[in-house]
Amino acid sequence: MDRATIQSWTDANVQLKFDERREVKYQVYRDGETHFLEMRGLADEPIHTLELPDGMKLDTSSYEVLLRYVLLDVVAA
């Protein structure tokens, strides 16, 4: 498979609700023709990997917005 990094591991402090925050790191990569947003805790524990549909191949500044919504969903589950 042809894997390429689109955005290297980036630390983020994501506000979830009111005073609740979560520190994570994430990367965006392409594997073949498919794009993924992979999230991990700062201790490198996996949180979630999201396959990005074609319409969500975003610019770099938009990935943190998507990250917050995915984390809200994962934390609520």
Backbone angles phi, psi at 18, to 5 degrees: 40, -110
Question: Tens digit of pLDDT for each residue in 32-43?
Answer: 888 898 999 889
Q: What is the rounded distance in angstroms from the CA atom of residue 10 to the CA atom of residue 61?
A: 12
Sheet holding 46-52, edge to edge: 3-17, 20-31, 34-41, 46-52
Q: Which two tokens stand for residue 66?
A: 């998507």
Q: Is the pLDDT of residue 15 over 70?
A: yes
Q: Domain-by-domain residue ranges, the chain?
A: 3-76
The per-residue pLDDT for range 33-75, each reduced to its tens digit, is 888 989 998 899 998 898 887 767 666 667 777 777 777 777 6
Q: How far apart are CA 44 and CA 47, in angstroms?
A: 9
